[in-house]
Amino acid sequence: MHRKYYKILKVNCSKKIIESLNIALEKEGALSISIEDPYDGTTKEQPVLLDGNSSEQYWDNSLISALFDSQANIDEITNTLNNAFGDLKLQAEKLEDKDWVSENRKQIKSIKIGKKLMIVPSWEKPVSNKNINIFVDPGLAFGSGSHPTTTMCLEWLEKNIKGGEKVLDYGSGSGILSIAASKLGASQVCGVDIDNQALESSLSNALKNNVTLKVYKPKDLKGKNFDIIAANILSNPLIKLAKDFSGKIKPKGKVVLSGFYSDDIEKIRTEYNKYFSKTKVYKIVENWVCLEALK
């Protein structure tokens, strides 16, 4: 029996043509289209700001991959696109059909963080019950625990949660920081995210961990007097949020920030120093920074 396969067209393209190229690929019958940073996982990786402004959601140079059925005439599609956009240097590949969910799951392993935390994919059994096991199904939301920014925030939470704190996880994604905070002893945890899928993911992961979590869209969060705010977002929103965070945190409360590169340390510290008594770099891993601010 022949295994089903697909054809993929890959191309690097500039921000200017990305939307029209997307439409053209759809017209040519693409079954799905993904847009990625061609430098993903390298030191040239560029975080993009997801703030609802579509022109800001792409990289200057993006890698587009379009999936086509095995019957698609790739030469004809390539010609049509080259005629419309100039020589695009499209590359054709073949993709065997596999159980992609299982394949993807094989890549995600349990990770030990700090002294006690163990991030366990929700489909695996924990290796030991002596750890604080956090079961996470990243789904479509960011936060499998393997990214340095998440790891540094988790380590920081392990060091700073003593028990009984009220914690705000701003940009909760998969909810991994909320769940860790709760399991480390926080008495109340709130998650906030601009993305509905992230809020759903935070809630379903909290449920898997028997953790009580309240989630909000930013405009709906009325809570104040947090002992700890953790925000692993990106530098621009972190800068915009400095004043807001200062109004939500208790005197002597702490904010932990990550999601930005070392080039941005000074501009973030300058903004947070306006509202907080002290800021300090906690750690830098692979050029990603984790910074703390004390009210």
Ligand X SMILES: C[S@@+](CC[C@H](N)C(=O)[O-])C[C@H]1O[C@@H](n2cnc3c(N)ncnc32)[C@H](O)[C@@H]1O
Backbone angles phi, psi at 222, to 5 degrees: -105, -10
Helix, strand, coil percent values for the chain (each to nearest 5) = 35, 30, 35
Helix and strand numbers, DSSP H then E, in the chain: 8, 14
Residues that bind ligand X (CB under 6 A): 50, 141-143, 150, 153, 170-173, 176-177, 192-195, 198, 218, 232-233, 237, 259
Would you say 42 and 68 are in contact if contact means Cβ atoms under 8 Å apart? no
CB closer to ligand X, 66 vs 134: 134
Would you say 181 and 169 are in contact if contact means Cβ atoms under 8 Å apart? yes
CB closer to ligand X, 197 vs 225: 197
CA-to-CA distance for 201 and 207, rounded, in angstroms?
Answer: 10
Q: Report in angstroms how near the CB of residue 142 gets to ligand X at its nearest.
A: 4
Q: Report in angstroms how near the CB of residue 92 gets to ligand X at its nearest.
A: 33
CB closer to ligand X, 16 vs 112: 112
CB closer to ligand X, 68 vs 142: 142
> Given the DSSP bridges, would you call strands 249-261 and 226-232 parallel, antiparallel or unpaired?
parallel
Q: Report in angstroms how near the CB of residue 158 gets to ligand X at its nearest.
A: 14
The residues, any chain, with a CB within 8 Å of residue 199's CB and separated by 6 or more, are: 172, 191, 193, 215, 216, 217
Per-residue DSSP letter, 57: G
Q: Report in angstroms how near the CB of residue 260 gets to ligand X at its nearest.
A: 10
CB closer to ligand X, 173 vs 253: 173
CA-to-CA distance for 156 and 96, rounded, in angstroms?
Answer: 42
Could you tell me the two tokens for 221?
């969060």
The residues, any chain, with a CB within 8 Å of residue 284's CB and separated by 6 or more, are: 262, 290
Q: Report in angstroms how near the CB of residue 1 gets to ligand X at its nearest.
A: 42
Q: Report in angstroms how near the CB of residue 262 gets to ligand X at its nearest.
A: 17
CB closer to ligand X, 9 vs 141: 141
Q: Report in angstroms how near the CB of residue 17 gets to ligand X at its nearest.
A: 26
CB closer to ligand X, 25 vs 192: 192
List strands edge to edge, sheet with 132-136.
111-113, 117-121, 132-136
